[in-house]
Chain A
Amino acid sequence: MTENVVRNRFDFDVTARNGDARTGSLVINGTELETPNLFPVINFYAGGTDNSVYGGGIHRTLKEFMIGAERVGVEPMTEYFDASMTSVASLTDYNLNRNRYESYLDTPIKQRPLFENYNGLIFADSGGFKFLGGTDIDGSDFEVEMNQDAVYDIQEAFGSDIIVNLDHPIAPDDSHATRVEKAEMTAENIHTFLSISRGFDGAKYLTLHGYNYSMMSEFLEVITDSVPEGVLKEGFDGIALGSLVPKKDDRDALIRAVTDCREVMNEWGIGHWPLHVLGISSRAVPILAALGADSFDSSTHIHNAINGKYNESLMKRVDLDDADFSNCDCPVCSSDLLVNRMRGNAEYQKDVLGPVAMHNLVVVKDELAEIRRRIQTEDEDALIAYFEETFSHDKTMRQYAHKVVNQTLGGYF
């Protein structure tokens, strides 16, 4: 390892602030990402063997857009895949046997010929949510016991840019004792994770669990009982805030979690670390960005497409049948071939809904670009105006928008 590589392994610079919101540049192994940004969820396992070529429905079509496969007839849409989220658990979606598993992990994702056009950051989640959340998914198909060692091996084999320790997410109705127990188990994983990942070429994010200040502080207290604070700060580069998926529709809870998380980070002297919010839905993205979250991951664009919903804007979805593709100038809606497919003229459902998912993703990514522009003005009115335009007459969201304007942008009065 040369010194140069070490110096470039990870860098995060805040370039502008507006209220609590901030724009920044996240550089990992020479790849730069502007924040705040969204990591769309991608299942890279497609192409595990030469014969399978692609796997899995809409996920497959999205990858075709990503690499500009001939089937979709557009140039690689790399700018919308400057970052991606995948999970170690994604491997368990396919009934891999041991041999297949081993041979798949032979080649890192970005070194596969299929993904030669792909140069985005890959964030590999530990899959703790799936492995340890009480569901019956595990690694037994490929005869691997899913522990911290195994998870890290997979993250590394993927060639990931950002990884997290294997965590034990909490649930809203967990008792205090259960939460402490989960934090203790996570602490053990962190201990292991830090010792086995010393040579990792990328960024390491610490998973943080809790819904409010007290829960997150306590989580860190428990962790530092096993891992000294200095080691923790030396070993990690960022925070991944987890356990929010069950609360994703409770905007108050989200606002509180992110606000309190930033406060805890400041108190622990890690306020300059990037903050990634795991698994957050797209409509909440502007609100969380305004509160100081730097990145998110989401599969909402896919779920919306599966439900036949086309995003007219970040806030407004219409039934695919009612969509007017001529109002959008994204590469998907500008293609006659793809518009024709979205109108239902395709043999496979994935070719009807895949382009819709891609369009939906473009809408969210464009929105984030706009949010970055507004933050960069460093003029609070620019963000307030954004909230006005986006949430003003949406009765379900506006009180949360007001909350954010009051909390970080000086309020209306």
Chain B
Amino acid sequence: MKKAPKVNEVNEFLEIASDFEDPLEVIRESLSNAYDAGATTVEITILNRAGGSDIIIEDDGHGMNERDLESFFDLGNSRKTDSIGYKGHGTKIFYKSDRIEVTTVHDGTSYRAEMDEPWEKLNNEVLPEYELTKTDVRSGNPGTKIKITNFRSGHGFDAESLTYNKINHYLKWKTIAGSTAHYFDDDQREMEISVVLDDEIDDTQDGLVTDNRLTFPDEQLDPDDSMYPAERMCKHYPANEIAVEYDGGKTTLQIVGMVGGKAARNELPTYGRHSAQFGIWFAKDHIKVERLNEAISHDNEFIHFLFVANCQDIELSANRESIRNKASSVYKAIEEEVEYYLSKVTQDPWFKSYLETRKEAEYNRRTAKQQTSLKERRETIESDGFIPKNKAEVLIALERASSTSRGLSHTVEDYDPTADIHAILRQNGRLRNAAVFPTLTGLFENDVPLKNTDVAVCWTQGDPAILSEYERNGYYGGDLKFDVDDGGFEYENDGRQFVEVIEVSELLQGAAVPAADD
């Protein structure tokens, strides 16, 4: 007995509609459909509704016939093979609404399709139906109008967050409005896209009008004389068509892009964090799909780049968010070609000079910052005198004390700030192991082993209370007895040990102070 596997149609529709979270994806889908239908203008209207939003999309394309309309509502029955919306999944997002109305005029016939409560029905495990009516009209005014009532966005999403600004960036970054095709093909059909939002959503402007071209910020090859001279630098890398042969065929890779500083990149539309936007994009239909930032192998420099590498042999996942045929030999071939092309860009002397300019500016800023902090440090010295703040300065003070006092003989022979015993001193001809801290307390706070410590060099004793606490509580099971004024402290633990303390501030005070000039 043969059995055919069954499909639960309702669940399929639910599943696919749920795949789309962002109502803007409706717009992406519709723009692609409109372009495929030869439209030159598209108008999108979004109105705020209690549980979601109404979305109206009108275009002047050649409209749909009965079969096209079937594909619009059907699943897995797309008639398109080589156009942008060819998966046939996109329009199914409209099912997440209370009503779908499609009016379309094609070849002298007007079709009207209405579907009521699609979302509710799907959730009640009923497959929604649509009513199709047909009327003859005078030819000459083709076009399509789609009205979606009370579209339900994904969780936590509401229409009010859809500002013009956000929509503009989205359109330019993620949809055909951000196409780079015009860099390759002078005949790319222009499409005027206008968006009108309900005042309740955004009343800052009357509407938004844009085209279907992503354009790079103007070139600026030379640094300027601002504080960040590379920030607005920008270079275009002109459209390049590369024939790529791979195991089993040939394809064409179209690369265009720019390199630029932050200010130049800010002139580009973005959708999300910058670090998640810039870099090297693979595209299909000249719409960005997925990044290949490994193409720039060094130093995370991808942030300076926006390259779009288009190949029509890329296959997309149903929601257009990722590439499906990454394991194929065609993908591997274009991947390698993109990496190779980018290797030329990263070795371009202009790019290197751009990075160099950034580095130089950073260097100059550091210099300026140093001036400020040095000024403060010098003022501190002038008012408070020399006070060691770290081990090395304590040793400098020790050497200074020795050099200005005839009776003292300390020289620092060796200094390793990472060791427990930081220095080896020569004291009256003998080598001695010295732990060095600005205050004596630091030695105990840092758990310095005392067995090999001959001398503790410090600027001052530090807080005497802390020292007497150590005396009271002991140190690693041994007893401490401080007699610093008498030259050191005693440690008793499996034997008795005396550690000499050199208090450098005392030495320096005691040393001959050179006569002042005035």
A406 touches B348 (CB 8 A): yes
If over half of B's interface residues share one DSSP class (helix, strand or loop), that class is named, otherwise mixed; here it is: helix
> Does B184 count as interface, using CB distance less than 8 angstroms?
no
A413 touches B336 (CB 8 A): no
With both chains docked as a complex, state the minimum distance between the C-beta of A407 and any C-beta of chain B, in angstroms: 8
B336 touches A412 (CB 8 A): no
Identify the closest chain A residue to B348 (Cβ): A413
B333-373 interface (Cβ within 8 A of A) = 336, 340, 343-350
Instruction: Given the known inter-chain contacts A413-B237, A413-B345, please indicate yes or no for A393 contacting B350, CB distance below 8 A.
Output: no
B349 touches A398 (CB 8 A): no
A399 touches B343 (CB 8 A): yes
Q: CB-CB < 8 A to B237: which residues of A?
A: 413
Identify the closest chain B residue to A407 (Cβ): B349
Identify the closest chain B residue to A394 (Cβ): B340
Q: CB-CB < 8 A to A399: which residues of B?
A: 343, 346-347
CA distance A402 to B346 in the complex (A): 9
B336 touches A406 (CB 8 A): no
With both chains docked as a complex, state the minimum distance between the C-beta of B236 and any C-beta of chain A, in angstroms: 9
B349: contacting residue among A392, A393, A406, CB under 8 A: A406
Q: CB-CB < 8 A to B346: which residues of A?
A: 399
A411 touches B340 (CB 8 A): no
Identify the closest chain B residue to A412 (Cβ): B344
CA distance A165 to B403 in the complex (A): 53
> Does A272 count as interface, using CB distance less than 8 angstroms?
no
CA distance A393 to B349 in the complex (A): 20
Instruction: Report A382-406 CB contacts with B as 1/0, cut-off 8 Å.
Output: 0000000000110000110011001
With both chains docked as a complex, state the minimum distance between the C-beta of B254 and any C-beta of chain A, in angstroms: 17
With both chains docked as a complex, state the minimum distance between the C-beta of A369 and any C-beta of chain B, in angstroms: 27
CA distance A392 to B340 in the complex (A): 7
With both chains docked as a complex, state the minimum distance between the C-beta of A184 and any C-beta of chain B, in angstroms: 34
Q: CB-CB < 8 A to A403: which residues of B?
A: 347
CA distance A56 to B48 in the complex (A): 91
B347 touches A402 (CB 8 A): yes
Q: CB-CB < 8 A to B235: which residues of A?
A: 413
A413 touches B350 (CB 8 A): yes
Identify the closest chain A residue to B347 (Cβ): A402
B349 touches A411 (CB 8 A): yes
Instruction: Given the known inter-chain contacts A406-B349, A413-B350, please indicate yes or no for A393 contacting B344, CB distance below 8 A.
Output: no
Q: CB-CB < 8 A to B344: which residues of A?
A: 402, 412-413
Q: CB-CB < 8 A to B343: which residues of A?
A: 398-399, 402
Identify the closest chain B residue to A398 (Cβ): B343
CA distance A406 to B343 in the complex (A): 12
CA distance A412 to B349 in the complex (A): 10
Chain A interface size range:
10 to 19
With both chains docked as a complex, state the minimum distance between the C-beta of A255 and any C-beta of chain B, in angstroms: 12
Instruction: Given the known inter-chain contacts A392-B340, A393-B340, A413-B237, please indicate yes or no for A406 contacting B345, CB distance below 8 A.
Output: no
CA distance A403 to B344 in the complex (A): 9
CA distance A169 to B90 in the complex (A): 71
B218-262 interface (Cβ within 8 A of A) = 235, 237
Tally B residues with Cβ within 8 Å of A: 12
Instruction: Report B271-300 CB contacts with A as 1/0, cut-off 8 Å.
Output: 000000000000000000000000000000
With both chains docked as a complex, state the minimum distance between the C-beta of B340 and any C-beta of chain A, in angstroms: 6
Instruction: Report B369-391 CB contacts with A as 1/0, cut-off 8 Å.
Output: 00000000000000000000000
CA distance A392 to B350 in the complex (A): 21
A102-158 interface (Cβ within 8 A of B) = none
Instruction: Report B310-350 CB contacts with A as 1/0, cut-off 8 Å.
Output: 00000000000000000000000000100010011111111
Interface centre among A392, A393, A412 (most CB of B within 10 A): A412
B348: contacting residue among A392, A393, A398, A411, CB under 8 A: A411
CA distance A311 to B353 in the complex (A): 38
CA distance A411 to B343 in the complex (A): 12
B340 touches A412 (CB 8 A): no
With both chains docked as a complex, state the minimum distance between the C-beta of A404 and any C-beta of chain B, in angstroms: 10
CA distance A348 to B57 in the complex (A): 83
CA distance A392 to B343 in the complex (A): 10
With both chains docked as a complex, state the minimum distance between the C-beta of B7 and any C-beta of chain A, in angstroms: 45
Q: CB-CB < 8 A to B350: which residues of A?
A: 413
CA distance A399 to B340 in the complex (A): 9
A393 touches B347 (CB 8 A): no
Interface centre among A398, A403, A411, A413 (most CB of B within 10 A): A413
A406 touches B347 (CB 8 A): yes
Identify the closest chain A residue to B343 (Cβ): A398
With both chains docked as a complex, state the minimum distance between the C-beta of B196 and any C-beta of chain A, in angstroms: 42
CA distance A67 to B349 in the complex (A): 49
Instruction: Report A323-355 CB contacts with B as 1/0, cut-off 8 Å.
Output: 000000000000000000000000000000000
B336 touches A393 (CB 8 A): yes
CA distance A412 to B344 in the complex (A): 7
Identify the closest chain A residue to B345 (Cβ): A413
Identify the closest chain B residue to A400 (Cβ): B347
With both chains docked as a complex, state the minimum distance between the C-beta of A356 and any C-beta of chain B, in angstroms: 30
Q: CB-CB < 8 A to B349: which residues of A?
A: 406, 411
Q: CB-CB < 8 A to B345: which residues of A?
A: 413
CA distance A44 to B158 in the complex (A): 87
With both chains docked as a complex, state the minimum distance between the C-beta of A42 and any C-beta of chain B, in angstroms: 37
Identify the closest chain A residue to B236 (Cβ): A413
Instruction: Report A238-261 CB contacts with B as 1/0, cut-off 8 Å.
Output: 000000000000000000000000
Identify the closest chain A residue to B349 (Cβ): A406
Q: CB-CB < 8 A to A412: which residues of B?
A: 344, 348
CA distance A393 to B235 in the complex (A): 25
Instruction: Report B155-171 CB contacts with A as 1/0, cut-off 8 Å.
Output: 00000000000000000
CA distance A399 to B343 in the complex (A): 7
With both chains docked as a complex, state the minimum distance between the C-beta of A343 and any C-beta of chain B, in angstroms: 30
CA distance A297 to B347 in the complex (A): 29
CA distance A398 to B336 in the complex (A): 13
CA distance A392 to B347 in the complex (A): 13
Interface centre among B343, B344, B345 (most CB of A within 10 A): B344
Q: CB-CB < 8 A to A413: which residues of B?
A: 235, 237, 344-345, 348, 350
With both chains docked as a complex, state the minimum distance between the C-beta of B247 and any C-beta of chain A, in angstroms: 14
With both chains docked as a complex, state the minimum distance between the C-beta of A402 and any C-beta of chain B, in angstroms: 4
With both chains docked as a complex, state the minimum distance between the C-beta of B285 and any C-beta of chain A, in angstroms: 26
With both chains docked as a complex, state the minimum distance between the C-beta of B311 and any C-beta of chain A, in angstroms: 17
CA distance A412 to B237 in the complex (A): 10
Q: CB-CB < 8 A to A398: which residues of B?
A: 340, 343
Identify the closest chain B residue to A403 (Cβ): B347
Q: CB-CB < 8 A to A402: which residues of B?
A: 343-344, 347
Q: CB-CB < 8 A to A406: which residues of B?
A: 347-349
CA distance A412 to B347 in the complex (A): 9
Q: CB-CB < 8 A to B340: which residues of A?
A: 392-393, 398
With both chains docked as a complex, state the minimum distance between the C-beta of B509 and any C-beta of chain A, in angstroms: 43
Interface centre among A402, A403, A411 (most CB of B within 10 A): A402
CA distance A25 to B350 in the complex (A): 36
Q: CB-CB < 8 A to A393: which residues of B?
A: 336, 340
Q: CB-CB < 8 A to A411: which residues of B?
A: 348-349
With both chains docked as a complex, state the minimum distance between the C-beta of A349 and any C-beta of chain B, in angstroms: 38
Q: CB-CB < 8 A to A392: which residues of B?
A: 340
Q: List 16 A-B contacts (CB under 8 A).
A: A392-B340, A393-B336, A398-B343, A399-B343, A399-B346, A399-B347, A402-B344, A403-B347, A406-B347, A406-B348, A406-B349, A411-B348, A412-B344, A412-B348, A413-B237, A413-B350
Q: Which residues of B contact A (CB under 8 A)?
A: 235, 237, 336, 340, 343-350
- List 6 extra interface pairs beyond A406-B347, A406-B348, A413-B348, CB under 8 A: A393-B336, A399-B343, A399-B346, A402-B343, A402-B347, A413-B237
Q: Closest 7 CB pairs between A and B?
A: A402-B347, A412-B344, A406-B349, A413-B348, A398-B343, A402-B344, A399-B347
